[in-house]
Amino acid sequence: MLTHHQVWRAIDALADRHNLSASGLAKIAGLDPTTFNKSKRETPDGKLRWPSTESLSKVLQATGSTLEQFVALVENGVRSRVSIRLVPLIGLAQAGNAGYFDDAGFPAGAGWEEIAFPELGDPHAYALEINGESMLPVYRDGDRIIVSPQASTRRGDRVVVKTADGEVMAKLLHRITMRRIELQSFNPQFEDRVIELTDVAFIHRIIWASQ
């Protein structure tokens, strides 16, 4: 039987695996920082509060974790930290230049720097550093986003898209059809984009940001 204690213990373990506090975990998932605080786990009269499925979904996406991994934490509460590996990093403005990605859309060539990041289970994951203010208020100048080529994408995901002519952009995936993708800009001052699928080199999902 699934217990209240097991679920909250698993959330604490997930935060611990990524070197975060419970409030830090909530923050990177776009939730109120107090969402997972111990004071929120019971009402003043002692009634148990459970985390919502929406909040769990958001923290799994933010940490690049699977439901299976979370269930394992529910079952055994293992709080061991994940292994760290070096992830290639370049500026978003550089990413459209030739030589940074191979034909499969994976990081390649020289010019990449490296940053340490918890193991994601995607050997081709990479990081981009945001330049300028074109993605406010979601991403600020200097923010770093972690991108997973192997992660599945669906409507509503934040994605990095590279076009066949080398343009690289970070947008919200609004809609995808058999012929085209519709991308929504984070900053309303910049136009949304509609791109034919034949003109898309790759679509990769953003799974974490250093906000």
| pLDDT for position 95 | 93
**Are 107 and 205 contained in the same domain?**
yes
| Shared-domain flag, residues 110 and 179 | yes
Query: Cα–Cα distance between 63 and 165 in angstroms, integer?
Result: 32
Secondary structure E strands in 17-119 = 84-91, 113-118
pLDDT of residue 3: 85
pLDDT at 211: 58
pLDDT mean by block of 10 residues, the chain; 211 residues: 83 86 90 90 87 89 82 67 76 91 90 80 92 89 92 92 94 95 94 96 91 58
In this structure, are residues 176 and 182 in contact, taking their beta carbons and an 8 Å threshold?
Answer: yes
Pair (95, 136) in one structural domain: yes
Range of the domain at 29: 4-76
Q: Identify whether residues 122 and 196 lie together within a single domain.
A: yes
Q: How far apart are CA 77 and CA 73, in angstroms?
A: 5
Which of 42, 76, 110 is where one domain is finished? Answer: 76
Could you give the CA distance from residue 14 to residue 82 in angstroms, rounded to a whole number? 10
In the listed set 44, 76, 108, which residue is the last one of a domain according to the structure? 76
- The answer to whether residues 198 and 100 belong to one domain is yes
Q: In what order do the strands lie in the sheet with 158-163?
A: 113-118, 84-91, 126-129, 144-148, 200-209, 158-163, 168-176, 180-184, 193-196
Query: Does the pTM of the predicted model rise above 0.85?
Result: no
- The Cβ of residue 11 has, within 10 Å, a number of other Cβ atoms equal to 22
Q: Are residues 105 and 66 in the same domain?
A: no
Q: Which secondary-structure segment (H or E) carries 168?
A: strand 168-176
Looking at the structure, tell me whether residues 92 and 170 fall in a common domain. yes
Q: What is the DSSP string of 35-58?
A: TT-GGGSB-TTS-B----HHHHHH
Q: What pLDDT does residue 206 have?
A: 93
CATH classification of the domain holding 153: 2.10.109.10
* pLDDT in the model for residue 16: 85
